[in-house]
Amino acid sequence: MENGSSITTFLFTAYGDIGFIKNVYFTVTIITYLLIHLVNTIVIIVIVRDRTLHEPMYIFICCLTINCLYGSNAFYPKFLDNLLSDNPSISRTGCLLQIFAIHTYGSFEFSILALMAYDRYVSICNPLLYNNIMKPSKVTRLLCFTYLYPVCIFTVHILLTIRLPICGYLIDKVYCDNWSVVRLSCVDISINSAFGWFVTTVLMVPPLMLILYSYIKIISVSVKASKESRSKAVKTCLPHLITFLNYCIATSFEILHQRFDARALPHDVRVFMSIDFVLLPPLLNPVIYGVKTKKIWESSISKQNN
C-alpha cells in the first residue's frame, strides 16, 4: 500500500466489532430501507395518478420523494452488504460513485426545499399572480437548473479528487464522502479543501437565503392578514418548515463530522451523525407530506366509487 496508485480498495473502520448483533443491525436496516421505498413510492404514485395534484407544490413534493429514493439507493445497498462482511470495504471506483451520488442527493434536497419555499411565498404573498409566475415552463426550468447546477459542480469536485495520489485506505465512516478520501492523499490538499468550502457555500447559501427571504415575506404578509388567513398560511407552510429543519439538523451533523475532529464523541454518536442526513429525511418527508396527499387520495377514490 506504499504507492498511492496501487490502492484500489478502501476499508471502513466505523463499523467496529459488531460481532453477533450484526444480524440485528442488518434486519433493522433492511426493514428501514424497504420502508423508505414503500412510503416514498406511495407518495409518488398518488401524485402522478391524481391530475388534481399536478401543481407546482405537489410536483416539488414528488421530486423530493424521488430524490429520497436516489439518496437511499446510493447508501443502503453497500451499507447492508458491509454489515454482513468481515472486512467492510468498497472499491475506489465504487467509492467515487457513492461520493458523487450522496453529495448530489444532499444538494438536490436543499435546492428543492428552496423551490418549495419560493412556491409558498408566491402562493401566499401574490395569490392573484400565482398562475402567471409559476407557469409549467418556469417550473421545468427551475427544476432543470436545480439538478444540472450541482451535477456540474460536483463533477469538478470529483475530478479534483481523482487526480490525487492516495496513500491511505482506512475511512473512519460507514460510507464514502469526499473529504474522507481527500485526507488520505499523499500530497498537499489545500486546493481541494478550499474548493470544498466553495462548493458548500455556493450550494447552501443561495437556497438558504431564498428560504429565509420567502419566510420573512410570508410572515410580514401573515401578520397583517386575518386570523383565518394566518391559520391557512401556517397549515400550508408547516410541513415544509418541519422538513427543512429536519434536513438542516441532519446536514449540520454531517458537515461538523466531516470538517471537525469528532473522535471525542462516542462511536455510536459519530456513526449516527454521519448517516443522519440519509436516514431521517427519506423516512420523515413522505410521512410529513403524506398526511395531505392521503386526504386528497382518499377523496379521489371516493369520487371514483360514486
* Residue span of the structural domain in which 147 resides: 4-305
Does 168 score more than 60 pLDDT? Answer: yes
Number of independent structural domains in the chain: 1
Does 297 score more than 70 pLDDT? Answer: no
Helices (H), 84-189: 92-125, 130-133, 136-162, 178-182
Mean pLDDT of 19-41: 86
Grid cell digits, residue 25: 443491525
CA distances from 302 to 41, 54, 58, 290, 306 (A): 21, 19, 21, 18, 6
| pLDDT for residue 303 | 46
State how beta strands 9-12 and 89-91 pair: antiparallel
Cα–Cα distance measured from residue 171 to residue 70, given in angstroms and rounded to the nearest whole number: 23
Of the listed ranges 193-197, 227-231, 278-282, the one predicted with least confidence: 227-231
Does 4 score more than 80 pLDDT? Answer: no
* Structure-model confidence comparison of residues 235 and 291, the more confident one: 235
Tell whether the torsion through CA atoms of 16, 21, 24 and 30 is positive or negative: positive
Does 32 score more than 80 pLDDT? Answer: yes
* Structure-model confidence comparison of residues 68 and 286, the more confident one: 68
Does 5 score more than 60 pLDDT? Answer: no
Residue among 194, 39, 207, 245 nearest 108 (CA): 207
pLDDT band at 299 (very low <50, low <70, confident <90, very high): very low
| pLDDT for residue 127 | 87
- Average pLDDT of every residue of the chain: 84
Does 230 score more than 90 pLDDT? Answer: no
Of the listed ranges 75-79, 233-237, 300-304, the one predicted with least confidence: 300-304
* Structure-model confidence comparison of residues 51 and 33, the more confident one: 33
CATH number at residue 214: 1.20.1070.10
Q: Which pLDDT tens digit goes with each residue over 84-96?
A: 888 899 999 999 9
Of the listed ranges 11-25, 27-41, 173-187, the one predicted with least confidence: 11-25
Does 99 score more than 90 pLDDT? Answer: yes
Please report which helix (H) or strand (E) contains residue 59, including its range.
helix 56-83
| pLDDT for residue 210 | 92
DSSP label at 183?
T
